[in-house]
Amino acid sequence: SQTIHQWPATLVQPVGSPLSLECTVEGTSNPNLYWYRQAAGRGLQLLFYSVGIGQISSEVPQNLSASRPQDRQFILSSKKLLLSDSGFYLCAWISTGTVHSPLHFGNGTRLTVT
């Protein structure tokens, strides 16, 4: 069965510090991978998605970047965090080629920038 792991679950970082959130998927190959951010009580904002190794599409200009060094690994990074980077970050994957496949989410990372 397919599983998605996202860590850490909670993170408190000072302004100006670097960030690295990691997401891995097991039990599937060549998934499409996504990073979403969610402000409190709000909807999901798509930050990045990837259709393959080294292929990253950015949806909004921001202080963050993403990388996909391996087929089932997706990393969200920042060199210097801003207060506005605080939020709830969700990694997700989807099977390619089938429209009916739903998006499968990790458990999320709650990031607080102080």
Positions in the binding site for other proteins (CB under 8 A): 32, 38, 41-44, 46, 49, 51, 88, 90, 92, 94, 96, 99-105, 107-108, 110
Closer residue to other proteins in complex, CB, 63/96: 96
Q: Where are the beta strands (DSSP E) in 27-103?
A: 32-38, 44-52, 55-58, 65-70, 73-78, 87-94
Smallest gap from residue 46 Cβ to other proteins (A): 7
Smallest gap from residue 106 Cβ to other proteins (A): 9
Judge whether 31 and 95 are in contact, CB under 8 Å: yes
